Chain A
Amino acid sequence: MSTDIAVPPQKQRPVGRFWASTIGKKTVMAVTGLALVAYLFAHMLGNLKIFLGAADINGYAAWLRTIGEPALPYGVFLWIARVGLIVAVVLHIVAAAQLSLRDRRARPVRYVHGRVSFATSTMRWGGATLAVYVVWHILDLTVGVANRDYVDGQPYHNIVADFSVWWVNVIYIVALLMLGLHLNHGFASAARTLGVATGTIRTVGTVVAVVITGGFLVVPIAVMTGLVA
């Protein structure tokens, strides 16, 4: 004897369903996070040009504005990149905030004998700290309003002037260490969210975090020690 079993047709899954699911939001976080890591890597390499001298890094900064010429007008490539970065940052933060809220609601009654998860708390509070830092960093070295010695188009001068102030160095170094912790967990987490199952991905994430953080850190250290003046 056999019985026919009615199998319902597969439901349509539009973008809204993807965004509504926890894994969909995590995927958005992973893709935008990895895009930001790629940007950070390029930013870090550009900063290292300071060791080649003022003409080199100032020329590099000017070149960034001429990419795509003559098809693109002056500075347009940079604005395309900036819009892309803003979209990535906004999506990353919105998804993170919604997921964090959901995660908190998933445990309405806390454990009396609780334990703090280091990775989860550094990702959330570290991430929020980084967001505040990025705003200050743009006002300091891109717009220049938070930097009295700022000269437009003179990144070498601006960087040296910036890192000659002790508290700027403190802010910068603390933010970088936060970034290192964020990347150390975030890179591997993004890879897992995108389906990478190998155990070595954590090591890769740590290497990425150390290389990017180290690459950024050598600049203020070089200014502080007088290597770059």
Chain B
Amino acid sequence: MKLTLRIWRQSGPRDRGRMVTYRVEDVSPDMSFLEMLDVLNQDLIMRGEQPVAFDHDCREGICGSCGVVINGRAHGPERTTTCQLHMRSFADGDVVDVEPWRAKGFPVVKDLVVDRSAFDRIIAAGGYVTAPTGSAPEAHATPVPKPDADVAFDNATCIGCGACVAACPNGSAMLFTSAKVTHLNVLPQGQPERERRVLDMVEAMDQEGFGGCTNTGECVASCPKGIPLASIANLNREFLRASR
């Protein structure tokens, strides 16, 4: 396969940045999107140019490090992470636009790399349970009803990649925050801080400059872990419950 890539190049946070066109040849349909970028970068290095900076780590779809906007869609045309997106999703001769996540809360560090520490600060505001750590408690010590365990687990699969923010027309972090709040607030271990958690995490989310939710569902369509829109409704419910 031969592709034409138009990639956002920005040398640093203060650089204005621009789209730069590259041609990549010898792309195998079995390559992942990141492997295709590796091929491009190898070529750029051999030519003495700066390689394209992008975030990645596990390349197994579980760490949440990678993520770019491909042809206007967070993580590209398939509902998966960028590392698990394969080049067979594209056709020979395609023109592919590659951009970083765009949000006030996610400033660009370089090229396709953005600073997602805003998510860490939302977690620090309440995305934990205050319990003594140490050896794992006996599994049956705290009974959890199966439906609650399922909801908690589904929401706990959020890897914090930020695709929801990137896809949202309002740059809102509601899906991320709702997954974390739902995960902990449904469990018995999360009850002592149930109300403070939601109020503090929503306040932190707002302070980072993320937008509000308009229920368009773009976040859900891009979420590689399938966090449902119902989690946002649940976040709203928890917020109203705590605000009473």
Query: CB within 8 Å of B: which residues of A?
Result: 2-3, 5, 7, 10-11, 13, 17-18, 20-27, 99, 102-115, 117, 119-120, 123, 185, 188-189, 192-199
Q: Do A114 and B212 touch (CB < 8 A)?
A: no
Supply 27 A–B pairs (Cβ within 8 Å), ascending by A.
A7-B193, A10-B196, A13-B243, A21-B239, A22-B172, A22-B211, A24-B239, A26-B213, A102-B212, A104-B211, A105-B104, A106-B103, A106-B105, A106-B170, A106-B171, A111-B69, A113-B69, A115-B73, A117-B169, A117-B216, A123-B214, A185-B215, A194-B236, A194-B237, A195-B237, A197-B230, A197-B234
Q: From residue A52, how far is it (CB to closest CB) to chain B in Å?
A: 39
For the complex, count residues of B whose C-beta is within 8 A of A: 50
Further pairs besides A2-B132, A195-B233: 16, Cβ < 8 Å? A7-B130, A10-B196, A23-B212, A26-B212, A26-B213, A99-B211, A103-B211, A105-B211, A106-B210, A107-B170, A111-B99, A112-B6, A117-B218, A120-B170, A120-B216, A194-B237
CA distance A174 to B216 in the complex (A): 23
Q: Do A193 and B215 touch (CB < 8 A)?
A: yes
For residue B72, CB closer than 8 A to chain A, the reply is: yes
Bitwise interface map of B from 200 to 235 toward A, beta carbon under 8 Å scored 1, else 0: 001101100111111110100000000001101111
Q: Do A112 and B19 touch (CB < 8 A)?
A: yes
CA distance A209 to B239 in the complex (A): 28
For residue B144, CB closer than 8 A to chain A, the reply is: no
Contacts of A102 in B (CB 8 A): 211-212
Q: A21-B206, A26-B213 are in contact. Are A108 and B104 (CB under 8 A)?
A: yes
Interface centre among A2, A11, A17, A192 (most CB of B within 10 A): A192
Contacts of A10 in B (CB 8 A): 195-196
Contacts of A194 in B (CB 8 A): 236-237, 240
CA distance A61 to B211 in the complex (A): 44
Q: Do B233 and A192 touch (CB < 8 A)?
A: yes
Contacts of B145-171 to chain A: CB distance below 8 A: 169-171
The chain B residue with its CB closest to the CB of A123 is B214
The chain B residue with its CB closest to the CB of A10 is B196
Q: Do B240 and A112 touch (CB < 8 A)?
A: no
Q: From residue B19, how far is it (CB to closest CB) to chain A in Å?
A: 6
Q: Do A103 and B97 touch (CB < 8 A)?
A: no
Contacts of A23 in B (CB 8 A): 202, 212, 235-236, 239-240
Contacts of A192 in B (CB 8 A): 215, 229, 232-233, 236
For residue B71, CB closer than 8 A to chain A, the reply is: yes
Contacts of A109 in B (CB 8 A): 102, 108
Q: Do B243 and A120 touch (CB < 8 A)?
A: no
Q: A117-B216, A188-B215 are in contact. Are A103 and B170 (CB under 8 A)?
A: yes
The chain B residue with its CB closest to the CB of A190 is B215
CA distance A98 to B71 in the complex (A): 30
Q: From residue B52, how far is it (CB to closest CB) to chain A in Å?
A: 15
Q: Do A106 and B69 touch (CB < 8 A)?
A: no
Contacts of A103 in B (CB 8 A): 169-172, 211-212, 214
